[in-house]
Structure 1
Amino acid sequence: MANSEAAQATPQRSFMSSIAQLHHVREVNVLVALLLVGALISLASPYFLTTNNLMGVFRAFSLTAIMSIGMVMVIITGGIDLSVGSAMGLSSLVTALAFEAGLSMAASISAGLGVGLVFGLSNGLLITAIGLPPFIATLGTLSIGRGLMYMITHGVPVTPDTPELFSFLGQGYIGPVPVPVVLMTLLMVVFAVIMGRTRFGRHVYATGGNEQAARLSGVKTDRVKLSVYVLSSVIASIAGIIGFSRYLSAEPASGFGSELDVIAAAAIGGASLSGGAGSVAGAVIGAALVGVIANGVVLLNVNTYAQQAITGGVILIAVSIDVLRNRYSGGNA
């Protein structure tokens, strides 16, 4: 009889233990928040759960989500990349100028990606070779990028002729799903595997968790940091090219201020700004939460200026939870 009761209790304890472990997974907490916010908006507006609206929401936050994939890797190493908005905007502009000069689609896209590579190498070398703080280094490249955009365009949008295949990147659909959402999902899966299943991913987490210990363990921390800054800028340039293909016009102010949304997505998604913690999936879910809030503001006829205030409040709550969690864990240790 006692053995029978023990056998029944074991699965129950296992189930409760699994639930408790899920509660401590950062991505699950953010996903629950996303579902709750979505449920509240759907109760207040019958249009939220329509297919057209949901696909519009996905398309709207897809570029932020794509850039957050690169940003979260930088944050995990304990750094920050303020230049992603400028990398995005300048990449879209250079791609447009390449098309305007008569270059092929492959050459034009390569030119845009090259801008991201230059941004990433500049940031990485300033931080690892010279020793500048990431905030200062990327703030400087942010300003340079913005200045170059205005110098090149003189404030006038660039609108070249492009092939129909190129516009498919930003305007096309695969079934009911916008192509930018498909690309976002592919990038999320690829980099989630890289961060979770490869030596590079382990080295990124080790560098952010304790850089000195990682270096003593044989991790080439400077190379890791250089790599994540290059990846962050190149991924931002991918977002810039997709954005240009959607509107087929490179605006002088393209990407300006988007770095704040990207950092917010990573922070809301559970990335610790002190480094060592975070995930690609969490960053994308964080971007989704910001996008759903923005959509809810529109559907509920709330003052659009309130969106920034709401997003700021969500950031403060997310970071405060992270700080309290770390303090509580430290206290238990």
Structure 2
Amino acid sequence: MLKFNVYLYNTRKLESFCAFMVTQAPFRYPFLRHLSIAGFYPMPSSESISQLVEILTHASRLQTLHLSCYDLLKSDHRLQAACSSLTSIKEFHMCWNEGPVFQAQDPLYKMLKQMQSPLVRADLRFFRCNDGIGLDLATLLHSTATLEDLTVSNIAFQSELQFPRLRKLSFSTINYPPLALTARIFPNLTDLTILRDMDHLNAENDRYRQLNRSVQLAGGGWTSLDRLTGWPLDLYSLGLTCPIRCVKIFVYSHNHELVADILSDCRPSQIDIVFNDIFPSVRCLSDEVAARLTYLRCTIHLIYFDRNPIALVSATHYAFRRLVADTMM
């Protein structure tokens, strides 16, 4: 049983799990492989917390750890120390939006920075960062040589560290990241997702796009990507001109016109478009892009059309009459 994911999502589950583990302590501790701990209300007893500390301290083969229990971790520094001291973690997820986060003071930031496990995959979702900076990549210094997959919200591209093994990056950030710096930090990236979801095109977007195109003309950036995902405004502003095999775009009515520029820039052979709104019938695929396509997928999120049959007909007409017809498939 301990080889599968153990999911502790309430106080009763936690106390039952701890009682089970300590019954044959320390024999059962090394058999724990995957552990997820969610938020608790009411808080567990001090005895259960002490037992959990004991379990984590001796879980020498724990490979996956998911934490969304900010209040619990914050309540006892021993839990933070136990998580940091683990050396076998390969996949680490940490998420909370319980309140403002200040990197210099927050216990989970400190815990992450002090971790002794060389992570292969990390999913770090810190919301409401009050210092306005975002997660400093130096926090992941312990995993620069091993990290392959990183998802992070509110990231700050300030460090000159390199993650040579990282292939997949998904992030959100307040400001657009410098392309040249990002490519130096992640030189072997193949899969990039940007989820900023900004609303309207402005002069700053055009300046950022032109800067990135200049960087690429000078030999900076990546030579190719396997996959690129994001909202039209973000991908347009990023302005990647390297070959990209597959592009996935989430389209709203007010930014559909940017799609044609994005696809012309990176010349994908596979396109995945997700429609999230009502939109006019416009041509997104140029003849050059259509001629290169080997795969086209159109997804309509019906929830956004609010049972409006006219909107649904419009969406269906656009997706299947315009896009599919344009590709001559």
TM class by shorter-chain length? under 0.3
More strand by share: 2
Greater RCO (CA < 8 Å, at least 6 residues apart):
1
More helix by share: 1
Please, what TM-score do these two structures have when normalized by structure 2?
Answer: 0.20
